[in-house]
Amino acid sequence: MYKISIEELKDKAYNIRRDLIELIYRAGSGHLDTSLSLVEVWLSIVHSDFYSLDAKNGEMKNRDRIFLSEGHACPVQYMINADLGYYPKEELLKGFRKPFSPFGGHTVRNLKYGFENSNGSLSIGVWQAYGNALETSNNVFCIAGDGEFQEPTSQGIFSVPLNLKPLGNFTLIINRNRLAQDSEVDLGPIKEVAALYNWQTMIVKGHDFNALGSALQLAVEDKDRPTLMICDTVKGYGGDPNHAGKLGHHGKPPGNDEEYQAYLAGLEAGRRN
C-alpha cells in the first residue's frame, strides 16, 4: 500500500503540521486551516507504493503528477515537497510569501520544485490536470476544494469523459471539509452525478491512512474510467481545537504568540490521543 509504514506516515503528518504552523505564523500570512486538512491526503499519494517521482529530477518524463486546484492550500504542497527533498526546508521557511520567491501565496508552475501547475482562480487546476492526463499515461491526481465545486466551471468536468477517451489515469480528489470562506458547503448528490457519467466514485475518510491507501489503490487499478475520491476532512484538523471545523478562520494565521501556542498545544494533544 505504502513505501513506508503507517506509523512513519503518522509521524510525518505530525511533523508536517508542526512545520506548517511555524511557517504560516512566521510569515503572518497563509491559509493554515485548509492546509492542515490535506496533510494525510497529500502524504498518502506521494508515499503510495505505486507513485513515481524523483525529487532530484522534477522534470522526469515518467513521473506521476499532482495538480493543486485548491491553490490557497499550497503551503501543504510546499512543506511536503521539502520533506521529499525537492529543496531544503529552510529555503521554504525563509522564502514563503516573499517577493520573487518560488513559494508564493499560490503555486507557480516549477517542475524543478515539483509544482505541476500555476493556480489561483478556483477550478482552473481541475482543467489543467485533466488536459495533462490526456497527454500522459502516468497517474494524474488533482486536489480540489469542495467550495470550488459549487461553480459550474468545475462541475462540467464530470461530463467530459463521455466525449474524450475515458482517462483511467485521472483521479479527482475533492477535499470535503464542508467550509468555504464564509459559508458552509453542501455539494448534494455530487457522487451520484459523477457515477452517471461513468466515473468510479468513492467517499473516503480523509485523515485515515488505511482508508486513503485502499482508495488510491482502487483508483489506479481502474484503467477504464476516471475516479472521483471525495475525502471527508476537518478544516484545521490537528491544530487549535477551537478553530477546527468552524467558520471564521479561513486564511487567518495565528495572530500572536498565544494563538500560535494554542495550535501547537492542539497538535500535541492530538498526538497523545
Q: Which residues pair with 144 in a beta bridge?
A: 174
Non-local CB neighbours of 199 within 8 Å, separated by 6+ positions: 158, 161, 225, 226, 227, 228
Q: Which fold has domain 6-272?
A: Rossmann fold (3.40.50)
Is 70 exceeded by the pLDDT of residue 27? Answer: yes
* Contact of 167 with 133, CB cutoff 8 Å: yes
Nearest to 225 by CA among 159, 156, 173, 167: 167
Q: What is the pLDDT of residues 38-90, one digit of tens each?
A: 999 999 999 999 999 999 999 999 999 999 999 999 999 999 999 999 999 99
Enter the pTM of the model.
0.97
* Contact of 239 with 267, CB cutoff 8 Å: yes
Q: What is the pLDDT of residues 109-144, one digit of tens each?
A: 999 999 999 998 888 999 999 999 999 999 999 999
Domain ranges for the chain, please list them.
6-272
Cell numbers at 30, concatenated: 497563509
